[in-house]
Amino acid sequence: MDLKEKKILIGISGGIAAYKICSLVRLFIKAGAEVKVIMTPAAVSFVSPVTLSALSRNEVVINMLPDQSEIMKSERVDTKTWHVNYGLWADIFIIAPATCNTIAKANGGISDNFLLSTLLACRCPVLFAPAMDDDMYKNKVTQRNIKGLKAIGYHIADPVFGELASGLTGEGRMSEPETIFEKAKVIVSGMKDLAGKKILITAGPTREYIDKVRFISNPSTGKMGFELARAAQERGAEVTLITGPVNLETPNGVKRIDVVSADDMFMNVKSNSKRKHLIIMSAAIEDFTPIDKSNAKIKKENQSTFTFEFTKVVDILSYLGKQKDNHKLIGFAVETDNEINNAKKKLSEKNLDMIVLNNPNTPGAGFGTDTNIVTLIDRKSSERLPIMSKYEVSNKILDRYLELK
Burial call 323-335: b when 16+ CB within 10 Å, e when fewer: ebeebbbbbbbbb
CA distance 173 to 247: 17
Mapping DSSP to helix (H, G, I), strand (E, B) and coil, where does residue 272 land?
A: helix
CA distance 404 to 20: 36
CA distance 181 to 174: 13
| Continuous segment of H or E residues that includes residue 215 | strand 215-216
Phi, psi for residue 63 in degrees, rounded to 5: -100, 150
Task: Report the interhelical angle of 177-189 vs 21-30 (nearest 10°).
Answer: 40
How far does Cα 270 stand from its chain's mean position? 27
Strands 34-39 and 7-12: parallel
Q: Are 78 and 85 in contact (CB under 8 A)?
A: yes
Give catalytic residue positions: 218
- First vs last C-alpha separation in the chain: 21
CA distance 356 to 376: 5
Strands 328-334 and 278-281: parallel
Residue type, 306: F
Mapping DSSP to helix (H, G, I), strand (E, B) and coil, where does residue 174 land?
A: coil
How far does Cα 277 stand from its chain's mean position? 22
